[in-house]
Amino acid sequence: MSDLDPQTTLRRLFDVAVASAMPERLLDHLPPPPKGRTVVVGAGKAAAAMARALERAWPGPLSGVVVTRYGHAVETERIAVLEASHPVPDEAGCVAARRILRAVDDAVAAGWL
């Protein structure tokens, strides 16, 4: 196959596009950490991967909780990753929503927000 083969060209373009959207590459432009603690909350298929990338890039105190779809969890150290059903909510999703709300409530009570 030549480099001008349409299937090869399209595959290369796709691979470059996906690689450029990886969380590790997008965090090069983070602002400096604020004074105090940073609390992360989030939801979505990429939430766990973004949480892990943020942990690796963030120099200051960090905690939080994110929820992702079953099968999309990754190992993290400071941000809890929970899995739940999508698009139809299940009990795990309700538990995750309560954990996210509690994390925000705790941040407000501590005066971080």
Total domain count, the chain: 1
How crowded is residue 10: how many other Cβ atoms within 10 Å of its Cβ?
A: 10
Write the pLDDT tens digit of every residue in 58-85: 988 899 999 999 999 999 999 999 999 9
Kindly tell me if the per-residue pLDDT of 1 is higher than 70. no
Which residues constitute the domain of residue 30? 6-109
Q: pTM to 2 decimals?
A: 0.79
Contact 41, 103 (CB under 8 A): yes
Higher pLDDT, 80 or 36: 80
Contact 108, 94 (CB under 8 A): no
Q: Give the per-residue pLDDT at 2.
A: 56
In whole angstroms, what is the distance from residue 107 CA to residue 113 CA?
Answer: 6
Q: Is residue 77 part of a domain?
A: yes
CATH of the domain at 80: 3.40.50.10180
